[in-house]
Amino acid sequence: MPARNDLAQGADFKAIQGLQSFAEDVQFTHFPPSVAGIDDALAELYTGVQSAVLLKQDPAGALTAAANRANKILADNKKKYGA
């Protein structure tokens, strides 16, 4: 879910000293959806990105494996929580 860019561009937000750089980058800010157990799935994705960036594994393979593990976690959580 993307952040509310319109708020960051508003006069009230711009008046807060020190937040100008954040306002410029808010277009790149996204929040994970509200899904039961999402943190467990995100942890797998972050681990995959780390393995790819540090070249501990082939990047494509690391990201694919992480996505597969995250999808399994989401599917298991859907059964577990019914959401």
Model pLDDT for residues 8-39, shown as the tens digit of each residue: 777 887 788 887 777 778 778 778 888 888 99
- pTM over 0.85? The answer is no
| % of the chain surpassing 70 pLDDT | 94
The answer to whether residues 81 and 37 touch, using CB atoms and an 8 Å cutoff, is yes
pLDDT of res. 27? 76
Nearest to 40 by CA among 82, 72, 2: 72
CA 28 distance to own-chain centroid: 11
The answer to whether residues 13 and 19 touch, using CB atoms and an 8 Å cutoff, is yes
